[in-house]
A = this chain, B = another copy of it.
Amino acid sequence: MSPKPGIDGKALGRLPNLAWLSPDQLQGLAQSLVPQKIKRRDTIFFEGESANRVFVLLSGVAKLSFIHRDERVLVGLVGPGEVFGVSSLLPHMTRPFRCDAFSDCTIGVVRPETFVGLVLGVPLERFSRTLEITVGRWWMMLQRYTNFVGLSVRERLAGALLELSAKFGVEDARGTLLTLKFTHADLAELVGASRQRTTEQLNEFEDEGIIIRDGRRVIIVPQQLRALIETPANETARPAHDGVGQNRRN
């Protein structure tokens, strides 16, 4: 695993992110990292790929973007010395972002098992699980928020309801029953909308049969909601409400 020109352990140690590793660790990492050059605008990995490598950016700048039906959101930039592609450290994960080179880059590629073994001295499995229960939540939240950028209130609310039903829902003859009683104001806070607009949107959902109200409790029909999120701006059952659509860049 070290046939290529190779990377210098000392050089790695000068990267601020890795300076705390012991000389031995740096040495090991340097040997395990497979160097690779990437040209500006080329893609390092695609969203949806199964995540089985970790990357270290050795030089250049890379760009992480989230893509939702040809809407792309620049999620962040990676600078020299940073470790990226870390979704491979979580259990059975596919990459949520696409990563491409913003300028010409050199990267080091390594298997997650090797990386975790070297840096922590713990089997990947264990680390993975620990990550999942601790920072897994951040991951979910991050995905939610990147998703939200550029969506209408309608879509954000749909997404939020779906999430809530997955987490706090109970199956019911008519759909998924939300066990907690959320006020419209709560939901508004959750999706970043005004209380009034949230009320209106919920009523629209009810008209469209996407949610059912049982007193002040809510029952959700997940299929319809999911459809609503996948599909561009259009109507699912009733062609009444004119959908949405002021969220496209150019």
Q: Using a CB–CB distance below 8 Å, which chain A residues touch chain B?
A: 17-18, 20, 54, 61, 65, 72-79, 82-84, 86, 89, 102-103, 116, 119-122, 126-127, 129-131, 133-135, 137-142, 144-146, 148-150, 164, 167-168, 180, 186, 188-190, 192, 194-195, 249-250
Question: A72 touching B189 by the CB < 8 A rule?
Answer: yes
Q: State the oligomeric state as a number of copies.
A: 2
For residue A89, which residues in chain B have a CB less than 8 angstroms away from its CB?
134-135
Question: A249 touching B195 by the CB < 8 A rule?
Answer: yes
Question: A130 touching B119 by the CB < 8 A rule?
Answer: yes
Known: A79-B167, A120-B127, A131-B135. A74 touches B142 (CB 8 A): no
For residue A195, which residues in chain B have a CB less than 8 angstroms away from its CB?
249-250
Question: A137 touching B76 by the CB < 8 A rule?
Answer: yes
Partner pick for A141 among B75, B127, B192, CB 8 A cutoff: B75
Partner pick for A73 among B79, B120, B150, B189, CB 8 A cutoff: B189
Partner pick for A135 among B76, B135, B192, CB 8 A cutoff: B135
For residue A121, which residues in chain B have a CB less than 8 angstroms away from its CB?
122
**Given the complex of chains A and B, what is the CA–CA distance between A145 and B54 in angstroms?**
24
> How close is A47's CB to chain B, nearest CB, in angstroms?
15
Pairs across A and B, CB under 8 Å, 12 listed: A61-B168, A74-B189, A75-B141, A77-B164, A79-B168, A82-B137, A84-B137, A89-B134, A131-B135, A138-B138, A142-B145, A195-B249
Question: B76 touching A141 by the CB < 8 A rule?
Answer: yes
**Given the complex of chains A and B, what is the CA–CA distance between A18 and B129 in angstroms?**
9
Q: Which residue of B lies closest to A90 (CB)?
A: B135
